Copies of this chain bind each other. A is one copy, B any other.
Amino acid sequence: MRVLKYAILGLLDQRELTGYDMKKHFEDSLGQFWSAKHSQIYPELKRLTEEGFIEFDIHIQGKKLEKKVYQITDAGKRELHEWLRKKGPIPDTTKDEFMLKTFFISSMDQKEAAGLFSHQLQERTKKVEMLEQKLNILTEEDPSAQSLHSTQFGHYLVLTRAIEREKGYVRWLQKTLEVIDSSIV
């Protein structure tokens, strides 16, 4: 259903951007829930331009570097809002390779399982710290980000959701590790 299309339209509804700028956004907090490589972004920009949902101006950087700065058109805004309003069903599957391994825990011995789980716990804990640091920076730079009418509210929500998602994962990993460690053969 071409979600990347809407990700691009949504970004351009906030401010004009180059393809390169969009890639940067996908590496930032938005990237917790959606991302794309530049090799996917550029062809999509070309297509959206042909469809009339976006337009670009050429800006000259320095002496001769030409960059394409994209803006959303009125047709693009209509398209974006149609998608934003639509109440889709929640997906049945959210792919998670670690949980697939977990499903097969009976194929592992106790030591292997403990190693796998403690590594995952370590990685997820690091991620929580990284995300909390991002949230601190955001709320220090713009304390109004926590209110609905701030332009940064979406950014704030994505960070808080990502933090709570990871914290929930961490709690479950700790609880499960205790069960594994206490089941000495």
| Residues of chain A whose beta carbon lies under 8 Å from any beta carbon of chain B | 3, 6-7, 10, 13-14, 26, 30-35, 80-81, 83-85, 87-108, 110, 112-113, 115-116, 119-120, 123-124, 127, 146-151, 153-155, 157-158, 160-161, 164-165, 167-169, 171-172, 176, 179-180, 183
Contact = CB atoms under 8 A, between A and B. Distances in A.
A96 B34 CA distance: 7
A142 B149 CA distance: 51
Contacts of A112: 84-85
Among A14, A90, A120, A153, max chain B CB count under 10 A is at A90
B97 A94 contact: no
Contact of A116 (B87, B116, B171): B87
A56 B85 CA distance: 49
A155 to B, nearest CB: 7
- Ordered nearest first, which 8 A-B pairs have the shortest CB separation? A33-B99, A148-B183, A10-B104, A168-B168, A103-B154, A35-B93, A87-B119, A33-B96
Contact of A6 (B31, B83, B100, B180): B100
A13 B107 contact: yes
A151 B104 CA distance: 9
Nearest to A35: B93
A50 B166 CA distance: 40
Contact of A124 (B90, B105, B120): B90
Nearest to A113: B148
A93 B123 contact: no
Contacts of A106: 14, 150-151, 153-154
A18 B63 CA distance: 64
A31 B96 CA distance: 10
Contact of A93 (B10, B32, B100): B32
